[in-house]
């Protein structure tokens, strides 16, 4: 008798769907779908095709138009697709109608991110945070789950238990949300005590878009082994390490990365991570300079920090990472058209950003370890400025006597 042993799980074949609107042109819509494809691959799916439609606003019934939905349905049936992912949040009504038409599993951007969060969560803290976010996402979508019990029409004998069951489930979920919030408050209190017990060292937090190299940089500076991978949301748990540069010790925190189109309540589930950012004395904003939309990513991170963390007034260093992967298109000398961002060289970017940030930025490659010593010097100077202001007495590891003193 032959035994069949499953040695490798097949990835789900999926298609991606987005729309082009007045506020989201075709270039940006394609960038968003590229990022959605990366999210899908991180979750274990295999994107095989992208569908885009130009609309003034999403169709309130099926998100895309009836003709485009029929085109998607035909492709799904012909190519044995088991999953369709939409780039924006879908309402319960849209989810119900799309599932009814396509007869496959439907996900939107938020549910896909939540799936990745659940897969990445390792500690009890992260698992509770993810579970809370999942229940908050599920609560307004309960009606879609109980369509088999809803009332189809009025009359005697047609009053089914659907609404009662929905209310029961709603109470169960609300109770679980309340319990999780209580658990997370207790965890937050423990984290607050831990922060108070860390002593009087200056606190530095690594922030930035997801997959820009924060954890890799953390490993370089702290000589630790924080998990780092070329996938989105490789880090969900807050990691704090003591770092010593020359004679100056300080605390360095690695935080969860941000991403565009991420609902605020999802970010707020990671309150302990955000508290580390709020309590930080210095923010190190890590940016992937090789990404074509890195300037938009900077704006998204700054906006999130301002709205959720209220950290816009904190001193900040911008670290442009992945210079080894940076590329540009050289402009033809005979081409008299204006330069686009694809034609800007790395040296031009350095001059622009160094002038804009008043020397509070640096260009490195954490992977190739380029300019890491220069980064350490910059960190030392900025941390020292905060340290000597807060602790006017000598609290360094040792006194440096080789510096000339003005008498």
Per-residue model confidence (pLDDT) at position 288:
94
Q: Which helix (H) or strand (E) holds 244?
A: strand 239-245
Q: Is residue 267 within 8 Å of 308, Cβ to Cβ?
A: yes
Q: What are phi and psi of 271, to 5 degrees?
A: -65, -40
Query: Of 26, 25, 50, nearest to 37 (Cα)?
Result: 50
Over the Cα atoms of the chain, what is R_g? 25
Q: Is residue 282 within 8 Å of 316, Cβ to Cβ?
A: yes
Q: Between the CA of residue 230 and those of 2, 5, 115, 213, 308, what are the distances in Å?
A: 39, 30, 18, 8, 26
Per-residue model confidence (pLDDT) at position 359:
81
Per-residue model confidence (pLDDT) at position 238:
72
Q: Is residue 377 within 8 Å of 273, Cβ to Cβ?
A: no
DSSP 161: S
Per-residue model confidence (pLDDT) at position 118:
80
Task: Compute the distance between CA of residue 361 and CA of residue 358 in angstroms, rounded to an integer.
Answer: 8
For every one of its 407 residues, what pLDDT tens digit does the chain have, with 9 covering 90 and above? 344 343 344 578 999 999 998 888 888 889 889 989 988 988 889 999 999 999 988 999 999 999 999 999 999 999 989 999 999 888 888 988 999 999 999 999 888 888 887 877 777 777 887 888 888 888 877 755 544 444 444 444 444 454 566 777 788 888 888 888 888 788 777 777 776 666 678 899 999 998 888 888 988 888 766 555 555 555 556 778 888 898 888 999 888 778 887 766 666 666 656 777 888 889 999 999 999 889 989 998 888 888 766 666 789 999 999 999 998 878 777 766 777 777 788 888 888 888 888 889 999 999 899 999 999 999 999 999 998 888 777 666 667 665 544 43
The DSSP line for 283-334 is EEEEEETTSTTHHHHHHHHHHHIIIII--TTS-EEEEEE-GGG---PPPPTT
Query: Of 229, 277, 230, nearest to 254 (Cα)?
Result: 277
116-132 burial, b at 16+ Cβ within 10 Å, e below that, comes to bbbebbeeebbbbbbbb
Written in H, E and C, the secondary structure of 75-127 is HHHHHCCCEEEECCCCCHHHHHHHHHHHCCEEEEHHHHHHHHHHHHCCCHHHH
Q: Is residue 308 within 8 Å of 268, Cβ to Cβ?
A: yes
Task: Compute the distance between CA of residue 88 and CA of residue 23 in angstroms, rounded to an integer.
Answer: 14
Task: Compute the distance between CA of residue 48 and CA of residue 45 in angstroms, rounded to an integer.
Answer: 9
Q: Is residue 243 within 8 Å of 377, Cβ to Cβ?
A: no
Task: Compute the distance between CA of residue 269 and CA of residue 290 in angstroms, rounded to an integer.
Answer: 30
Per-residue model confidence (pLDDT) at position 4:
39
Per-residue model confidence (pLDDT) at position 210:
84
Q: Is residue 102 within 8 Å of 76, Cβ to Cβ?
A: yes
Per-residue model confidence (pLDDT) at position 172:
85
Q: Is residue 101 within 8 Å of 73, Cβ to Cβ?
A: yes
Task: Compute the distance between CA of residue 71 and CA of residue 272 in angstroms, rounded to an integer.
Answer: 45
The upper half-sphere exposure of residue 4, i.e. CA atoms within 13 Å in the direction of its Cβ, equals 0
Q: Which helix (H) or strand (E) holds 17?
A: strand 12-20
> Which tokens belong to 194?
């831990």
Per-residue model confidence (pLDDT) at position 155:
43
> Which tokens belong to 231?
């996938």
């Amino acid at each position: 008798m032959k035994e069949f042993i499953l040695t490798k799980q097949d990835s789900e074949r999926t298609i991606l769907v987005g729309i082009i609107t007045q506020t989201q042109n075709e270039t940006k819509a394609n960038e968003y779908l590229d990022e959605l494809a990366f999210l899908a691959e991180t979750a274990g799916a295999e994107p095989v095709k992208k569908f885009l439609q130009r609309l003034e606003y999403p169709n309130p019934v099926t998100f895309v138009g009836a003709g485009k939905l029929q085109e998607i349905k035909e492709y799904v049936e012909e190519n044995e697709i088991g999953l369709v992912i939409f780039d924006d949040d879908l309402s319960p009504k849209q989810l119900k109608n799309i599932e009814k038409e396509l007869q496959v599993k439907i996900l939107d951007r938020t549910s896909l991110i939540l799936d990745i969060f659940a897969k990445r969560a390792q500690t009890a803290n992260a698992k509770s945070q993810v579970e809370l976010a999942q229940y908050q996402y599920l609560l307004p979508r309960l009606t879609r789950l109980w369509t088999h019990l809803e009332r189809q029409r009025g009359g005697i004998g047609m009053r089914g238990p659907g609404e009662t069951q929905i209310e029961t489930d709603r109470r169960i979920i609300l109770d679980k949300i309340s319990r999780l919030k209580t658990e997370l408050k207790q965890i937050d209190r423990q984290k607050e005590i831990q922060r108070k017990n860390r002593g009087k060292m200056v606190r530095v937090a690594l922030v930035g878009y997801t997959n820009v190299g924060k954890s890799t940089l953390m490993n370089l500076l702290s000589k630790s082994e924080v998990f780092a991978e070329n996938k989105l949301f490789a880090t969900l748990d807050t990691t704090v390490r003591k770092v010593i540069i020359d004679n100056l010790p300080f605390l360095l925190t690695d935080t969860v990365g941000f991403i565009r189109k991420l609902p605020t309540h999802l970010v707020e589930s990671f309150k302990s991570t955000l508290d580390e950012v709020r309590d930080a004395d210095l923010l190190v904003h890590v940016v992937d300079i090789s990404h074509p939309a890195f300037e938009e990513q900077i704006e998204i991170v700054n906006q999130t920090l301002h709205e959720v963390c209220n950290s816009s007034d904190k001193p900040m260093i911008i670290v442009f990472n992945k210079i080894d992967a940076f590329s540009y298109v050289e402009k033809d000398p005979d081409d008299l058209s204006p330069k686009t961002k694809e034609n800007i060289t790395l040296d031009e970017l350095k001059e622009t950003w160094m002038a804009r940030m008043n020397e509070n930025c640096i260009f490195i490659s954490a992977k190739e370890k380029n300019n890491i010593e220069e980064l350490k010097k910059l960190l030392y100077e900025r941390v020292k400025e905060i340290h000597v202001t807060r602790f006017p007495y000598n609290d360094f590891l040792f006194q440096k006597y080789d510096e000339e003193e003005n008498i």
